[in-house]
Amino acid sequence: MRAAVLSLAAAFAGTLLLLLAPPALAHTSLTGADPAPGAQVDRLERIRLEFAGRVAPDAPRAVALLAPDGSRWDDGAVTPDGERSLVAGVAPRLPAAGEYTVRWCLLGPDGHEQRGGYVFTYTGPVDPAAGPGAPAGDVSCAAQAPGDPARSPAGWLIGGAIAIALLGALIAGPLGRRLARRP
């Protein structure tokens, strides 16, 4: 009988964990881009990234455009474009034709940095004397991330586990004693 009570409490606790988990724990993913991955373009004025989930207007984010030689050619500006899109500016002149890489990062509502990237081919006009747009460096949202512990999924998970354990103990204790007294 005690095993049945413990199983019931565990099932209840698991259900509560699933129902109370913040929806932000699901990471968003890239669903579209302009230029598209693998595309061949002869003009490039901006980079537009579309995501499956909502992008918070104040979420830290970064987008980099890397030339075939690895130098950065974005202008460093990344702005929201609707609820699920970001737009990044590019340098007015690119140095060479060839494969360019777009790298992005976004700090999700759950506090995790999400990253991605893809390649496209640029065949438009070039200016070998042009200077890079943004300073060189890795694409990271960490420098922009607020130090808010409430954004951390660990806090949600630990708090939820403690709450569920306490609730399970409150239910299982009296119920178990009541069932044990039955003849």
Record the pTM.
Answer: 0.64
In the chain, where are the structural domains located? 2-23+151-181, 27-148
pLDDT at residue 24, rounded to an integer: 43
- Rounded to whole angstroms, what are the CA distances from 18 to 11, 21, 109, 149, 153? 11, 5, 18, 21, 14
- The CB density around residue 59, as the number of other CB atoms within 10 Å, is 18
- Rounded to whole angstroms, what are the CA distances from 60 to 23, 100, 109? 19, 23, 10
Q: What is the full per-residue pLDDT of the chain (183 aa) written as tens digits?
A: 555 555 555 555 555 555 555 444 456 789 999 999 999 999 999 999 999 888 887 888 899 999 999 899 998 889 999 989 999 999 888 999 999 999 999 877 677 888 999 999 999 999 988 876 655 556 666 554 444 444 445 555 565 667 676 566 666 666 566 666 766
| H runs (alpha helix) in the chain | 2-20, 153-181
Distance CA 65, CA 135 (A): 11
With beta carbons less than 8 A apart as the criterion, state whether 120 and 102 touch.
Answer: yes
- Rounded to whole angstroms, what are the CA distances from 92 to 8, 13, 16, 132? 64, 56, 53, 10
Distance CA 59, CA 104 (A): 13
pLDDT at residue 131, rounded to an integer: 75
Q: Measure CA of the first residue to CA of the last residue in the chain; give whole Å.
A: 12
Distance CA 75, CA 3 (A): 62
With beta carbons less than 8 A apart as the criterion, state whether 132 and 71 touch.
Answer: yes
Task: Give the residue from 55, 161, 153 showing the smallest Cα distance to 112.
Answer: 153
CATH number of 27-148: 2.60.40.1220
- Rounded to whole angstroms, what are the CA distances from 181 to 1, 6, 33, 152, 173? 11, 17, 65, 44, 13
pLDDT at residue 15, rounded to an integer: 57
